[in-house]
Amino acid sequence: MRKKLLSLIFVSFLGVSCSKVAVRNSDRLLKDVYQDFFTIGAAFNKGNMPIPIDEDDEGIVFEDDGLYNHFNSMTLENDMKWDKLHPAENVYDWTKADKYVGFAKSHNMGVRGHALVWYRALPGYMSLGEINTKEELFLHEKKHIEDVIEHFKDSVYCWDVVNEVISDNEDKDITEENTYRHDDLWYELSGKEYILKAFQYADAKLVELGIRDKVKLYYNDYDNTKPIKMAKTLKMLNWLKEENCPIDGIGLQCHYHMGSFVKEELESAIYEYSSLGLDVQITEFDVDIYDESPNVTPVDSYVDGAPQKILDAQATIYNHAFKVFRKYKDKISNVTFWGIRDNNTYMNDPIEFFGHAGPNYPYIFDIFGEKKPAFYVISDYED
Between the alpha carbon of residue 301 and those of residues 35, 346, 356, the distances in Å are 37, 17, 8
Residue from 77, 141, 164, 272 carrying the catalytic annotation: 164
For residue 24, count CB atoms less than 10 angstroms from its CB and return exposed for 0-12, middle for 13-18, buried for 19 or more.
exposed
Residue from 188, 284, 292, 370 carrying the catalytic annotation: 284
Least distance (Å) between residue 368 CB and ligand GLA: 22
The answer to whether 272 touches 264, Cβ cutoff 8 Å, is no
Please give the Cα distance from 167 to 176 (Å, whole number).
Answer: 11
Least distance (Å) between residue 163 CB and ligand GLA: 5
E strand segments, 240-324: 249-252, 255-257, 279-288
Please give the Cα distance from 170 to 179 (Å, whole number).
Answer: 10
- Residue 267's H or E segment, with its range, is helix 263-275
- Residue 279's H or E segment, with its range, is strand 279-288
Least distance (Å) between residue 321 CB and ligand GLA: 17
Least distance (Å) between residue 284 CB and ligand GLA: 5
Please give the Cα distance from 238 to 93 (Å, whole number).
Answer: 36
Binding site for ligand GLA (CB under 6 A): 114, 163, 222, 253, 284, 346
286: nearest Cα among 42, 114, 110, 67: 42
Please give the Cα distance from 310 to 316 (Å, whole number).
Answer: 10
The answer to whether 307 touches 315, Cβ cutoff 8 Å, is no
- Report helix, strand or coil for 138: helix
Q: 164 an active-site residue? A: yes
> Would you say 48 or 163 has its CB closer to ligand GLA?
163
The DSSP secondary-structure symbol of 290 reads S
Enumerate the β-bridge partners of residue 88: 91
Between the alpha carbon of residue 100 and those of residues 9, 52, 73, 257, the distances in Å are 54, 10, 12, 29
> Would you say 253 or 314 has its CB closer to ligand GLA?
253
Q: 193 an active-site residue? A: no
> Would you say 346 or 363 has its CB closer to ligand GLA?
346
Least distance (Å) between residue 125 CB and ligand GLA: 21
**N residues, the chain:** 383
Least distance (Å) between residue 253 CB and ligand GLA: 5
**Residues whose CB is less than 8 angstroms from the CB of residue 175 and which lie 6 or more positions away in sequence, other chains included:** none
**Residues whose CB is less than 8 angstroms from the CB of residue 11 and which lie 6 or more positions away in sequence, other chains included:** none
> Would you say 199 or 346 has its CB closer to ligand GLA?
346
> Would you say 34 or 222 has its CB closer to ligand GLA?
222
Least distance (Å) between residue 346 CB and ligand GLA: 4
Residue number of the CB closest to ligand GLA reads 346
Least distance (Å) between residue 354 CB and ligand GLA: 8
> Would you say 72 or 163 has its CB closer to ligand GLA?
163
185: nearest Cα among 217, 141, 143: 141
> Would you say 222 or 261 has its CB closer to ligand GLA?
222
Rounded to an integer, what is the distance from CA 367 to the centroid of its chain? 20
Please give the Cα distance from 116 to 133 (Å, whole number).
Answer: 20
> Would you say 190 or 220 has its CB closer to ligand GLA?
220
Active-site annotation, residues: 164, 284
